[in-house]
Amino acid sequence: MPSEIGETIPCSAVVVGKGLGKVQAPKTKCPTCNLDGDRRVDCPVAWANVGKPLPGLSSRGGRLKGAFTDGNPTKDIFAQWVVFLQDRRNFPQGARPMPNPGAPELKDFKKAARDGAPP
pLDDT tens for 65-98 read: 999 999 999 999 999 999 999 998 888 877 788 8
User: What does the H/E/C string look like for the chain?
Assistant: CCCCCCCECCCCHHHHCCCCCCCCCCCCECCCCCCECCCHHHCHHHHHHCCCCCCCECCCCCECCCCEECCEECHHHHHHHHHHHHCHHHCHHHCCCECCCCCCCHHHHHHHHHHCCCC
- pLDDT: which is higher, 7 or 67: 67
- pLDDT: which is higher, 89 or 109: 109
User: Could you tell me the pTM of the whole model?
Assistant: 0.90
Residue 14 banded pLDDT, cuts 50, 70, 90: confident
| pLDDT over 90 at 114, yes or no | yes
